[in-house]
Structure 1
């Protein structure tokens, strides 16, 4: 990274890294684990921008400005590209990969989830800071079938020659996604990104989803519902979001997100209209 200090993107990456407090040495897996957890705590998953209709550039300077400097939040193609670029600049061996999200139980969903694959000391790990409230906070080894426990969350990895499937076995049984291990280029990610925030029927175009994971606390906004899960005390609270003002207060208090009143009005109106249409 020292060789890149004169470039604009290196300055953005330096700014990004300066916001964290990581004791582990760069080049170690412990550093990646700390970076992943602290990123998830500091930068929220959000579909607010995806609901606006405007194209969201993945060019590094525009991406870092939007996600890191302005703290607007983002989704997998944004968060995981930031992580990929940062790890690559630090000298880690990384590559992008695409996965099928399987939360709905369907196995034929398109590959519209971006992750980062890290090769470290002969082992391959998935690093993911863009999966939202169901995401994991540490790198998961995907070279073989095994299970990983992180607090109350138990993850199961199923590996074949072409895929790696990541599932939860506790506190609930849930398949998260299946990673395609084929070589992926940024252009492949661009196609998935374009569909995910431009297609009129794409989930993030039509649904407000905001989440953050911080030290055993998981916060989620799903359309007009706010959910807080305390993993340490095994408690859960829920409230209905009845106004744009309430939404704005929740975003500031729990998600560290900056969003204009114009954007929030558009999001809230879209969510309410869809709910009325379904009710009718």
Structure 2
């Protein structure tokens, strides 16, 4: 990522280039990203290809001012952090499903950022932490996104289980990977009828007082812990994507099968 791309990416979420790669800047970058770049799976429901390549991700997220899901958001954020001088490692995770059973490897992409200590950074899991979490801390960690705990997973593989407000989130592996390693699972998530991403379009973003989510036609606002819902009419959908998420679409995403 060159200097002009760094500037354009930082402009995407109203940040200036940090003077040094420290944890305070990392925390500010993560929260600003969460409040400006939505978690969304709209490409799947618009028939758009998803390419896990830095130039394609930059065009989608920065130039076209879209969002994406974990492979896209954390994939490009890793490029930015690396360009800013951070030491970044891509990690694979298994997302916990019903019954507390972890899903397949590469189900999720998260980031490890090494400063004086290792940090978990994630801008691609929807409703999650506002800032980086200490990977070596076993006590509860709290921020505006809730209460988190990172503990050793069963077995002798060095995996870590991440919980959010007491609920299992994902099982994080220790081995580093490249973005290309996530391509097969990204394709499965975008195409399989068994993937929850193919069931309905979703767009969600952190706000200063909570979260706004549009799932299919249901608009959900959470403000200071209070949740309200309303089903939108068809004619309201395109303006809603623009007004609440800054996304300009020329057609409404289709619903899942």
2:32 is the counterpart of 1:29: no
Give 1 or 2: higher helix fraction.
1
Q: Using structure 1 for the length normalisation, give the TM-score.
A: 0.83
Query: Displacement, 1:11?
Result: 2.8
Q: What's the secondary structure of 1:13's corresponding residue?
A: helix
Segments ≥4 residues shifted beyond 4 Å: none
Distance 1:236 1:34, change over 3 A: same
Superposition map of 1:98-137 within 5 A: 98-111=92-105, 112-121=107-116, 123-132=117-126, 134-137=127-130
Distance 1:212 1:182, change over 3 A: same
Q: What's the secondary structure of 1:181's corresponding residue?
A: strand
1:140 to 133, 136, 140: 133
* Cα distance in 2, alignment partners of residues 152 and 59 from structure 1: 29
Determine the structure 2 residue equivalent to 1:52.
46
Determine the structure 1 residue equivalent to 2:245.
255
Query: Displacement, 1:27?
Result: 1.0
Q: What's the secondary structure of 1:11's corresponding residue?
A: helix
* Cα distance in 1, alignment partners of residues 145 and 82 from structure 2: 31
| Contact 2:102–2:171 (8 Å) recurs in 1 | no
Determine the structure 2 residue equivalent to 1:228.
221
Unaligned stretches of 5+ in structure 2? none
Query: Displacement, 1:16?
Result: 0.4
* Cα distance in 2, alignment partners of residues 105 and 118 from structure 1: 31
Q: Using structure 2 for the length normalisation, give the TM-score.
A: 0.90
2:161 is the counterpart of 1:165: yes
Query: Displacement, 1:236?
Result: 1.6
Unaligned stretches of 5+ in structure 1? 275-280
User: Aligned pair count?
Assistant: 252
Q: What's the secondary structure of 1:182's corresponding residue?
A: strand
Larger radius of gyration: 1
Distance 1:103 1:230, change over 3 A: farther
